[in-house]
Amino acid sequence: EAQVTQNPRYLITVTGKKLTVTCSQNMNHEYMSWYRQDPGLGLRQIYYSMNVEVTDKGDVPEGYKVSRKEKRNFPLILESPSPNQTSLYFCASRPGQGNYNSPLHFGNGTRLTVT
């Protein structure tokens, strides 16, 4: 089954404790992206990647890192989480940049709480 898989689904952590949220897709998509969703603010892009070893900042990159060493994986790293990073996170992917009509496929989300 074609899918985007995120882990973990739920995570509670403390301020400053490094964490990684994994994202993997099995559709051979070039483009992958991370979003956070907060009440009243909609989906905001954190980082995106157009292909292996190519990453770029989205609208709210502060406090986050990503890597794209392989096409299928795009982990989101919080080196020193803070309470304002408590949010619902989504990973998404789609085919490469020439495919304008391609919709994004989303993972089922990671709910992160930082105390």
Partner 1 sequence: RKEVEQDPGPFNVPEGATVAFNCTYSNSASQSFFWYRQDCRKEPKLLMSVYSSGNEDGRFTAQLNRASQYISLLIRDSKLSDSATYLCVVNIEGNTGGFKTIFGAGTRLFVKA
Which residues between 13 and 42 bind partner 1 (CB under 8 A)? 33, 41-42
Report DSSP letters for the chain, one per residue: ---EEEE-SEEEE-TT--EEEEEEESS--SEEEEEEEETTTEEEEEEEEEETTEEEE-S--TT-EE--SSSSB--EEESS--GGG-EEEEEEEES-TT-TTPPPEE---EEEEE-
Which residues between 46 and 75 bind partner 1 (CB under 8 A)? 48, 50
* Contact flag: residue 111 with partner 1 (CB under 8 A): yes
* Contact flag: residue 93 with partner 1 (CB under 8 A): no
* Contact flag: residue 104 with partner 1 (CB under 8 A): yes
Among 90, 93, 112, 114, binds partner 1 (CB under 8 A): 90
- Tell me, by CB under 8 A, how many residues bind partner 1: 21
The residue ranges that bind partner 1 (CB under 8 A) are 33, 41-43, 48, 50, 88, 90, 94, 97, 100-109, 111
